């Protein structure tokens, strides 16, 4: 690294780091490695299916920990055990503790009947305002049935620019968190980010207009006692949506799920 301005040094010399610093290319990896090793040594096991999920049994109580960069959610069957684990973590790392109502862009509502509702109402309002689509009327479905897009669809007029990539990024985040109902439509329009036309942009705006009318939609988890978890997935294929190369489109991201979980 370069020398601090106040340090006297010879020209052409640099400092050799003994540990990672915030902002370096490897800083995020070093942090994740450090915290993951701490959790493993503490008694957690890392999930093979998802490297961000850790689980363990402490004082005969099951504990789950979800890690996203430097944000974490901890679940435990007993609050006393949960607080003890948090205290042990804070002995090693600085941490701010709060009740969970918001995590990684998702809003979490705990209901009296035992259900948990995940949604992104405030995030949807922000992105609709960001792309100046508040004045548009809402739609009841994210895409018009039978819509077929190609790279030659209605090119933009010369000198015209649209925030296409930014809009797609905002929609993709929603699709993989709390709004799987837009995943199929987003998967189609994201293919044209290199050279979007006006028709592509109109389809993107339609997705936003659908979100405007369904801001309160989300994913609901029910409390079910003494039942195993069943996961049911559906997929579909479509040769019409990629006519230029006759490439089959497999809808693997939009999945109808049936969960029976015990929270």
Predicted pLDDT of residue 263: 36
**Residues 202 and 139 reside in one and the same domain:** yes
**Residues 4 and 93 reside in one and the same domain:** yes
**Residues 11 and 72 reside in one and the same domain:** yes
**Residues 28 and 77 reside in one and the same domain:** yes
Predicted pLDDT of residue 247: 52
**Residues 124 and 216 reside in one and the same domain:** yes
**Residues 192 and 134 reside in one and the same domain:** yes
**Residues 66 and 159 reside in one and the same domain:** no
Predicted pLDDT of residue 256: 41
Phi and psi at residue 146, in whole multiples of 5°? 85, 0
As a whole number, mean pLDDT of residues 76-97 equals 91
As a whole number, mean pLDDT of residues 12-21 equals 80
Q: Is residue 140 part of a domain?
A: yes
Out of 17-26, 103-112, 200-209, the most confident range is 200-209
pLDDT tens, 90-102?
999 998 888 788 8
**Residues 211 and 124 reside in one and the same domain:** yes
**36 or 22, higher pLDDT:** 36
Q: How confident is the model at residue 124 (pLDDT cuts 50, 70, 90)?
A: very high
Q: Is residue 47 part of a domain?
A: yes
- Mean pLDDT rounded to a whole number for the chain: 84
Do 168 and 189 form a contact (C-beta atoms < 8 A)? yes
Answer with the one of 67, 98, 129 that is the final residue of a domain.
98
Please state the domain count of the chain.
2
Strands (E), 44-180: 45-46, 53-58, 61-68, 71-76, 102-103, 106-110, 116-119
Q: Is residue 50 part of a domain?
A: yes
Predicted pLDDT of residue 259: 36
Predicted pLDDT of residue 239: 55
Q: How confident is the model at residue 190 (pLDDT cuts 50, 70, 90)?
A: very high
pTM: 0.75
Give CA 153 to chain center in angstroms: 30
Q: Which domain, by its residues, includes 188?
A: 119-220
Q: Is residue 124 part of a domain?
A: yes
As a whole number, mean pLDDT of residues 31-60 equals 92
**Residues 123 and 216 reside in one and the same domain:** yes
Do 120 and 105 form a contact (C-beta atoms < 8 A)? yes
Percent of the chain with pLDDT over 90: 47
Predicted pLDDT of residue 258: 37
**32 or 230, higher pLDDT:** 32
pLDDT at 176 over 60: yes
Q: Is residue 258 part of a domain?
A: no
As a whole number, mean pLDDT of residues 91-120 equals 89
Kindly report the number of other CB atoms within 10 A of residue 124's CB atom. Answer: 21
CA-to-CA distance for 201 and 197, rounded, in angstroms?
6
Answer with the one of 46, 68, 98 that is the final residue of a domain.
98
CA-to-CA distance for 115 and 215, rounded, in angstroms?
19
Answer with the one of 46, 67, 98 that is the final residue of a domain.
98
**Residues 89 and 130 reside in one and the same domain:** no
Q: Is residue 165 part of a domain?
A: yes
Q: Is residue 142 part of a domain?
A: yes
**Residues 32 and 81 reside in one and the same domain:** yes
Predicted pLDDT of residue 1: 66
H or E element in which residue 166 lies: helix 164-175
Among 9-23, 24-38, 137-151, 167-181, the least confident range: 9-23
Q: Is residue 71 part of a domain?
A: yes
**Residues 124 and 208 reside in one and the same domain:** yes
As a whole number, mean pLDDT of residues 13-21 equals 81
pLDDT at 253 over 80: no
């Amino acid at each position: 690294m370069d020398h601090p301005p106040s340090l006297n040094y010879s020209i052409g010399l640099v400092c050799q780091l003994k540990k990672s610093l915030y902002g370096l290319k490897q800083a995020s990896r070093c942090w994740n490695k450090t915290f993951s090793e701490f959790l493993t040594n503490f008694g957690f096991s890392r999930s093979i299916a998802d490297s961000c999920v850790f689980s363990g049994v402490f004082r005969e109580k099951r504990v789950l920990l979800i890690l996203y960069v430097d944000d974490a959610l901890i679940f435990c069957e007993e609050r006393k055990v949960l607080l003890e684990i948090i205290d042990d973590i804070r002995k090693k790392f600085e941490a701010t503790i709060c009740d969970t109502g918001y995590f990684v862009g998702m809003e979490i509502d705990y209901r009296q009947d035992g259900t948990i509702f995940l949604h992104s109402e405030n995030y949807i309002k922000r992105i609709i305002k960001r792309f100046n689509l508040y004045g548009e009327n809402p739609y009841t479905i994210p895409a018009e049935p039978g819509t077929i897009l190609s790279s030659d669809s209605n090119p933009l007029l010369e000198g015209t620019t649209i925030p296409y990539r930014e809009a797609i990024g905002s929609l993709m985040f929603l699709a993989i968190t709390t709004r799987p109902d837009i995943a199929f439509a987003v998967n189609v329009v994201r293919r044209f980010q290199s050279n979007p036309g006006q028709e592509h942009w109109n389809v993107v705006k339609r997705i936003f207009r659908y979100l405007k009318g369904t801001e309160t939609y989300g994913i609901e988890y029910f409390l079910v006692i003494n039942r195993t978890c069943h996961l049911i997935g559906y997929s579909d294929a479509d040769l019409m949506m990629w006519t230029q190369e006759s490439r089959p489109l497999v809808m693997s991201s939009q999945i109808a799920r049936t969960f029976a979980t015990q929270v």
